[in-house]
Amino acid sequence: MDTAQTFIGRAPGRVNLIGEHIDYNGGMVLPAALSIGLEVSLAPRADNTVTMRADHYDEAARRDLKEDASGHWSDPALGAARQARAMGLLAGGADLTIRSAIPQGSGLSSSAALIVAILKAARAAAGSDMTDTEIAVAARAVENGFMGVPCGIMDQMAVALAAPGTAMALNTRDLTHEIVDLPQTHAVVVVHSGLTRRLIDGRYAALKGECDTAKAHFGTDDLCLLDPADIARSDLAQPFRKRALHCATEHRRVLDAIAALQARDVAALGQAMNDSHISMRDDFEMSLPVIDALVADAAELGAAGARLTGGGFGGCIVAVVEKGRQDAWLAALLDRHPGAHFIGAV
Ligand code: GLA
């Protein structure tokens, strides 16, 4: 390993078209890679120091590989370097320079993209033949183990494997996946609600815990594979029954959305997205009134489908809008919601 050399790793942000909070409940999900992304340049070091500079933070960081997460912005990068070291991709620390166009705290997987990009750069440094799926699994381990974020595998798989402009139909039980083309006639538009969210603020973990209670009740790890009718008439107490119902119905809506994309049936895709939002709002209770209003107006102004996307309690909505009407639709939506802003379109 030549310590003078630098190695580049890249990863896009992602938006989830449909399939929320089911990547840890045995479901199918349908994320798409964004054209905005980030790039990391990595220079291996012989000692155990990790230095990190990012264009979106004024202050650089210098940390030891043995340090734990401390709530500092550099935690995900340090965790990725530690993971790369543990997997033998680095012999010591590294100097990392990060250039990112992915907004933080917006539910667009900036953290997953950063960790994946560092692991990919370290893979290049080591000349390793590790697969992108193995990179994604390792990146999730950084979130779960080092960062203490109890996320599923969707974001890491999407940013490690999906090419911008396509969606990935991902089976989160066995990580098999298929690339699905997006409609030619419509744009997938991402609009930020203006409310930023943090995965580690406890609400994500609380919802995951409620799903675990439902799993224990039904004696399964795969809530998504249960029959929604069986869940609805079960004696499982609320809110656990509603949580399980969301998982089972959302999984079926993802299957409908994949079939709709393959059949180029935008109306059916939109219906699945609209129904998904109602389920997230009423059964999973992960939305907020500001987001519900944004989604309702997105549909009223002509989107074929619109829904909250990501972990919930803020962040972005995703809408499918006819390409010729996209600009007027966006202007009208932002006029009604001055706190919202456009993020990008796939
Ligand atoms: C976050 C997590 C993902 C997934 C989504 C909700 O993005 O990182 O694993 O659970 O929330 O669908």
**In sequence order, what DSSP letters do the residues of 64-102 get, joined into one string?**
ETTPPP-S-TTHHHHHHHHHHHHTTS-SS-EEEEEEE-S
For ligand 1, atom 8, the nearest C-alpha belongs to 151
Question: 314 C-alpha to center of ligand 1: Å?
Answer: 13
| pTM to 2 decimal places | 0.95
Contacts of 174 (CB under 8 A, 6+ apart): none
Cβ atoms of residues 93 and 47 within 8 Å: yes
Token pair 């209670």 in the structure block, residue: 213
Q: Which residues pair with 322 in a beta bridge?
A: 186
Token pair 């997006």 in the structure block, residue: 182
Measured between alpha carbons, how far is 164 from 114 in angstroms, rounded to an integer? 16
Q: Which residues are catalytic?
A: 155
Atom of ligand 1 nearest to the CA of 199: 1
Measured between alpha carbons, how far is 126 from 139 in angstroms, rounded to an integer? 17
- Considering the chain, what percentage of its residues have pLDDT values greater than 70? 97
pLDDT of residue 107: 82
Atom of ligand 1 nearest to the CA of 112: 8
For ligand 1, atom 11, the nearest C-alpha belongs to 311
Cβ atoms of residues 194 and 343 within 8 Å: no
Q: Which two tokens stand for residue 132?
A: 């992108």
Residue of 34, 142, 149, 151 to test ligand 1 pocket, by largest number of atoms within 8 Å of CB: 151
Pocket of ligand 1 (CB under 6 A): 16, 20-21, 23, 151-152, 154-155, 310-311
SS3 assignment, position 204: helix
Measured between alpha carbons, how far is 56 from 10 in angstroms, rounded to an integer? 16
Question: 92 C-alpha to center of ligand 1: Å?
Answer: 31
Measured between alpha carbons, how far is 260 from 114 in angstroms, rounded to an integer? 32
Measured between alpha carbons, how far is 271 from 292 in angstroms, rounded to an integer? 16
Atom of ligand 1 nearest to the CA of 152: 9
Atom of ligand 1 nearest to the CA of 19: 12
Query: In angstroms, how far is the first alpha carbon of the chain from the final one?
Result: 38
Contacts of 331 (CB under 8 A, 6+ apart): none
pLDDT of residue 202: 86
pLDDT of residue 58: 86
pLDDT of residue 325: 97
Question: 230 C-alpha to center of ligand 1: Å?
Answer: 26
Atom of ligand 1 nearest to the CA of 24: 10
Around Cβ 185, how many Cβ atoms within 10 Å?
Answer: 12
Residue of 204, 285, 287 to test ligand 1 pocket, by largest number of atoms within 8 Å of CB: 204
Measured between alpha carbons, how far is 6 from 27 in angstroms, rounded to an integer? 39
Question: 296 C-alpha to center of ligand 1: Å?
Answer: 23
pLDDT of residue 4: 66
Q: Is the peptide bond before 239 cis (omega within 30 degrees of 0)?
A: yes
Question: 55 C-alpha to center of ligand 1: Å?
Answer: 25
Dihedral sign from CA coordinates of 67, 70, 73, 79: positive
For ligand 1, atom 5, the nearest C-alpha belongs to 311
Q: Which two tokens stand for residue 265?
A: 């049936």
Stretches where the chain sits below pLDDT 50 are 1-3
pLDDT of residue 198: 60
Q: Which two tokens stand for residue 288?
A: 């907020």
Question: 19 C-alpha to center of ligand 1: Å?
Answer: 9
SS3 assignment, position 135: helix
Cβ atoms of residues 310 and 1 within 8 Å: no
Q: How far is CA 240 from the centre of its chain?
A: 24
For ligand 1, atom 1, the nearest C-alpha belongs to 311
